[in-house]
Amino acid sequence: MRKTRAQEAIVSNYARTLIPFKARQLCRKAGFTPSDQEDIEQQLWMAVLAQVDNYNPERASLDTMIDCIVDSSARMILRERRTRRRTNSTPVESIDLPICCEEDLESTLADCLHAGDRVRHRGAFSRDEQLLDETREAVEQALQNTPTGVRDVCRRVMGGSILGTSKALGISRRQVRKRLAEAKEAFENSGFGNS
């Protein structure tokens, strides 16, 4: 019994590799989450199955056809998600509107928000003072492991620029960059990553 094109597409190793790969790629884009992967894979499979009967072996291989279908469908999914985000029809409500709580007490949504949430809803981020202090302390510790000239260059660059530092210290920008490279090595040895 001869397989149909849809069956060939389903059992194709290329399709079984490509579709999860494309779904993972899309999940890394803004507006998607890893939990969307299974749904995206299903949408891509449905697109392949809907269009694979149009396959013409004289024009290209089945894998090429599958690749075109999956790429096109992935672009459509991405476009649809971006459009939905841009034209979000969710009504906007004030956090100052009263809400009913237990025991018939009225309060507002703003009363229920954590301090970090209140800052985030305005598009800003709260500063974690403890983390900032720990980072400052770690930077100072790493600077202590550098020679005095390197330490001075680092402190001046943190408060200004490479050009300003070179003028203030009377050294070339190349020398400033060389000392910064030495500092980078000391910072990496102190546990700071390349990020």
Helical segments of 2-61, H only: 5-11, 13-27, 37-51
Has residue 122 got a pLDDT over 60?
Answer: no
DSSP state of 4: P
Has residue 1 got a pLDDT over 80?
Answer: no
Has residue 124 got a pLDDT over 90?
Answer: no
Has residue 147 got a pLDDT over 80?
Answer: yes
The domain locations on the chain are 5-86, 129-189
pLDDT at 92: 61
Q: For residues 187 and 144, give the distance between their C-alpha atoms in angstroms, rounded to a whole number.
A: 10
Closest residue by Cα to residue 18 from 45, 57, 56, 53: 45
∠ Cα 60 64 67 (to 5°)? 155
Please state, rounded to an integer, the average pLDDT across all residues of the chain. 79
CB 109 within 8 A of CB 95: yes
In this predicted model, what pLDDT tens digit does every residue of 77-110 receive, in sequence order? 988 888 776 665 556 667 777 776 565 566 777 7
pLDDT at 75: 92
The bridge status of strand 106-108 relative to strand 98-100 is antiparallel
pTM of the model: 0.43
Q: Where are the beta strands (DSSP E) in the chain?
A: 98-100, 106-108
Has residue 42 got a pLDDT over 90?
Answer: yes
R_g (Cα) of the chain, nearest Å: 29
Has residue 131 got a pLDDT over 80?
Answer: no
Among 14-23, 39-48, 115-124, 147-156, the range scoring the smallest mean pLDDT is: 115-124
Q: Which of 123-127, 139-143, 155-159, 166-170 has the highest mean pLDDT?
A: 166-170
pLDDT band at 195 (very low <50, low <70, confident <90, very high): very low
- Rounded to an integer, the average pLDDT of 169-175 is 91
pLDDT at 56: 83
Topology annotation, domain 129-189 = Arc Repressor Mutant, subunit A (1.10.10)
- Percent of the chain scoring above 90 in pLDDT: 15
